[in-house]
């Protein structure tokens, strides 16, 4: 399981609704809405 960086829900990476790549890392999301929020401003959701 991985954490959805937008809403902090646990997401199964093999069955995630959506995913997005950013700077060579893949992020998984529970919904398209979370992916769209992330894609609009990835740095707001990534904890360094
Ligand atoms: Zn989410």
Evaluate whether 44 touches 20 at the Cβ level (below 8 Å). Answer: no
Q: Per residue of the chain (48 residues), give pLDDT as tens.
A: 999 999 999 999 999 999 999 999 999 999 999 999 999 999 999 977
Distance CA 37, CA 1 (A): 21
Q: Name residue 18's beta-bridge partners.
A: 29
- Encoded tokens for 6: 């937008």
> pTM score, two decimals?
0.89
User: Ligand 1 centre and the CA of 48: distance in Å?
Assistant: 19
CA–centroid distance, 34 to ligand 1, in Å, is 5
C-alpha 20 to ligand 1 mean position (Å):
12
Note the pLDDT of residue 48: 73
For residues 17 and 31, is the Cβ–Cβ distance under 8 A? yes
19 bridge partner residues:
28
Task: Measure 43 CA to ligand 1 centroid, in angstroms.
Answer: 16
CA of 9 to the centre of ligand 1 (A): 6
């Amino acid at each position: 399981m991985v954490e959805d960086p937008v809403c902090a829900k646990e997401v199964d990476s093999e069955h995630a609704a959506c995913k997005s790549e950013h700077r060579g890392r893949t992020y998984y999301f529970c919904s398209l809405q979370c992916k769209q929020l992330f894609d609009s401003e990835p740095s707001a959701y990534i904890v360094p």
